Structure 1
Amino acid sequence: MPPEPVAPSPESTAPARGGSPVEVFLAFLRLGLTSFGGPVAHLGYFRTEFVERRRWLDDRSFSDLVALCQFLPGPASSQVGMALGLSRAGWLGCLSAWLGFTLPSALALILVAYGVQHWAGLAASGLVQGLKVAAVAVVAQAVWGMSRSLCPDKPRAGLALLAALLTLVAPTATGQLAAIALAGVAGWWLLELPPQAPVAHVASGVSRTAGIAALALFAVLLLGLPLLSGLLDGRLPGQVEGFYRAGALVFGGGHVVLPLLQATVVPSGMVTDSGFLAGYGAAQAMPGPLFAFAAYLGAASSGPLGGWAGGLLFLAVIFLPGFLLVVGALPFWDSLRQRAAIQSALAGVNAGVVGLLLSALYDPVWTGTIHTRADFAVALAAFGLLVLARVSPLVVVLMCAAAGFAVLG
């Protein structure tokens, strides 16, 4: 009697095809409502949902896709989601995955922006001060964790410190760009890394022609938007350019978007420094991607475009470069990731963004928040809960808000 067939394991199952955009949207909507904990946690949720439970792709293909999105600038977990939706249900599947994963937190943050704007005294309340203190602890945790993983040796630690010094001396968007660029060039020339082992490529359905077109559009917008904003009157073109640039240059983790956005929205008067930090603290309590913070900033904007329209516009703008990059890179990933010079340059850039975030931890996060011993005590306790006790960021943010209401008001 012949043996019964054995069900294939996730590692040997071929990626599934032929899903619908509605199926993709509902799957990612569930994750968008429940995925707390940041990008690393998001990727764990994705693996459980799409490799183990739904079996849309196998474990090796998922690992390869994660490696690609970690390699690229942009919101890594959202880029993985976009690529999964693309492979499952085409271009509409890609859009559905992004909408399902992003809209819950984005809509909640738009409502937070309305609350801060329309309730007198809320912006100066102890509750908002607690959210700002939570942001201090969360950014400090990000610097701590990223420095250990992205600056494991003296050369990269030195690059991080130089980038921090440069951005402290020149705390502008130009200074940040210069720090990232110089760190990348230094990494290209000075860092020697062991080559990565080749892995299987994800069959995404993106042609090389489509990939080249996406990369070309990414470059045209990155170079052309600053020129366009200089030619056009009004603040809106410059704001759009700043959000696009922030989405295009976030290496190493979503928290790096903090200094990039702050350089765009606070000096221009789009939002106040206090409102910026309060929104960033609130974003830590939301599920889904940290890039949804852009929806808060757009909704809280003093003009020329704010409210729901501003929130949704700037949300789309900050995610656009990450989408273009992942679509553009998918057809070329196998050869790209095995170039030693590219890996060294990326290592230098990642060290530079640690310095960028370290600089932001001082200004605006620390200088705009820590004014009393009570502020420092709550921030220190929150940092200990995050780093030593490994308490969920959601719980820590809620505790800081409660402490702010009770003590810091």
Structure 2
Amino acid sequence: MTAATKKPGFWAIFSIFLLLGLTSFGGPAAHIGYFRQQFVSKRRWLSDAEFASLLALCQFLPGPASSQLGMAIGLLQHKFRGALAAWLGFTLPSALLMLAFALSLTWWQPGLLSGVLHGLKLVAVAVVAQAIWAMAQSLCNSVRKAVIMLLSAALILWQQAATVQLLLLAGAALAGFLLLRHETASDSRVALVQPLQRRQGLGFAAVFLLLLLGLPLTAQYFAQPMLTLLDIFYRSGALVFGGGHVVLPLLQAELVPAALVNADQFMAGYAAAQAMPGPLFSFAAFVGAVAQTGISPVTAAVLALLAIFLPSLLILCAVLPYWQQISQQSALRSAFAGVGAAVTGLLLATLYSPLASSSILTPLDAAFAVLAFIALQFLRLPPWLLVLAGAVTGILLA
């Protein structure tokens, strides 16, 4: 985006992310694919290098990587109002659906439309495959980068723990620094317009730590269910790496023993969250609504959502001013090149497991996924159209 180009306002950013929140099925890996198509290929708000830099940052930070990436894109476009617009638009559809599901538990009958969900998962396979195809062309355009990508994918398929992902990204940065310096010596610097100053970053870091340390003490002192719920969700958003697929099982270990929700309620909400577009962290709206907190279910749902997403924004704003400066250092561009190749490998591993392995069950499934990829990559059909096609096809296949 050139300096002369007028940047979008709050409602423009909100409307774009609202559409993404309505149509982005498939979890964080698929969300990244949707984001790249929307903001790199279509609107050109970011270059591939800028997108990779932001993605690498969000992969390093705790919390939901795709939501943080959306916040970062909004922040660069319209500062804090842009970050709010991006988060609100992307989260609102799934949060409202999860809230409605929680409020309807008294009469809702088990049995989601499995055929529809199956079709949507096949579309997600195509979306992730397209993202990997595009990212590999720009981020893995040498033998050494391709080797880093493939080794990263193999390691994650072997061991998917969040700590392994962090060690892998750190190792990829080191490998890039040692092996790719001659390849990146002439690369142009990533020139992001910095929306925050360093002192602002320090302020956000202070608030982040204050809440991280203060909420557990407050919840223990006052012993109120709502405070306990807020503490659990804030700590989960602040300390858990790997996004929703990692945090949901960990939340069960805290919420059920604390008697905030029962096991049946949790598993019903867990299943429903897999069917929703947008971020899996919207599961917090469900828990807030069904938890025994003594306040209005709607109010509790809103507070739970804020608690789980707030640390993501705070830590993003705390680190971004320093990340921007570091990313401009020529000595470290090779390290970022290694991280970019490793992130592509992470997406490649995710494409195989859990997306393809849990979605492509028959030859017809494989045929539809290939056709969806062709439609996205070569026919340039919009993702929302494929989402509708996937839902209909899933019903027919079922």
Relative to the length of structure 2, the TM-score reads 0.67
- CA-to-partner distance for each residue in 1:289-320, whole Å, 9 max, x for gaps? xxx4432x333559869986457645664464
Give the CA deviation at 1:261: 3.0
Matches within 5 A, 1:9-408: 11=3, 25-33=10-18, 38-42=35-39, 69=54, 72-73=57-58, 75-86=68-79, 94=80, 96-114=81-99, 118=105, 119-123=108-112, 125-192=114-181, 193-197=184-188, 202=193, 204=195, 206-214=196-204, 240-244=234-238, 260-266=243-249, 275=272, 277-279=274-276, 282-283=277-278, 292-295=279-282, 297-300=283-286, 309=300, 313-314=304-305, 317-318=308-309, 320-321=311-312, 324-326=315-317, 328-330=319-321, 333=324, 335-408=325-398
Count, aligned residues: 342
Query: SS of the residue aligned with 2:92?
Result: helix
After TM superposition, the structure 1 stretch with the greater mean CA deviation from structure 2, 156-165 or 209-218, is: 209-218
Amino acid at match of 1:113: M
Query: SS of the residue aligned with 1:371?
Result: coil
Query: SS of the residue aligned with 2:358?
Result: coil
Give the CA deviation at 1:27: 4.6
Give the CA deviation at 1:120: 2.7
Give the CA deviation at 1:196: 4.5
Closer, same or farther: CA 166–12 of 1 in aligned 2, 3 Å = closer
Query: SS of the residue aligned with 1:38?
Result: helix
- CA-to-partner distance for each residue in 1:219-255, whole Å, 9 max, x for gaps? x69xx89xx8xxx9x9986765554457xx7xxxxxx
Q: Could you tell me which runs of 5 or more consecutive residues in structure 2 were left unpaired when the two chains were aligned.
A: 24-33, 59-64, 221-227, 253-265
CA distance in structure 1 between the aligned counterparts of 2:17 and 2:346, rounded to whole angstroms: 28
* Structure-1 residue corresponding to 2:225: none
Q: 1:243·1:314 contact (CA, 8 Å) conserved in 2? A: no
Give the CA deviation at 1:41: 2.1
Amino acid at match of 2:365: D
- CA-to-partner distance for each residue in 1:130-161, whole Å, 9 max, x for gaps? 22222222222222222222211111111111
Give the CA deviation at 1:82: 1.8
Give the CA deviation at 1:63: 12
Amino acid at match of 1:364: P
Give the CA deviation at 1:103: 2.0
Q: 2:98·2:285 contact (CA, 8 Å) conserved in 1? A: yes
Q: 1:129·1:278 contact (CA, 8 Å) conserved in 2? A: no
CA distance in structure 2 between the aligned counterparts of 1:360 and 1:305, rounded to whole angstroms: 36
Amino acid at match of 2:168: A
Relative to the length of structure 1, the TM-score reads 0.66
Amino acid at match of 2:137: R
Amino acid at match of 2:96: L
Closer, same or farther: CA 82–166 of 1 in aligned 2, 3 Å = same
Q: 1:65·1:202 contact (CA, 8 Å) conserved in 2? A: no
Give the CA deviation at 1:403: 0.9
Closer, same or farther: CA 137–65 of 1 in aligned 2, 3 Å = closer
Give the CA deviation at 1:398: 1.1
Closer, same or farther: CA 210–116 of 1 in aligned 2, 3 Å = closer
- CA-to-partner distance for each residue in 1:252-292, whole Å, 9 max, x for gaps? xxxxxxx643233257656688655433xx33xxxxxxxx4
Query: SS of the residue aligned with 1:354?
Result: helix
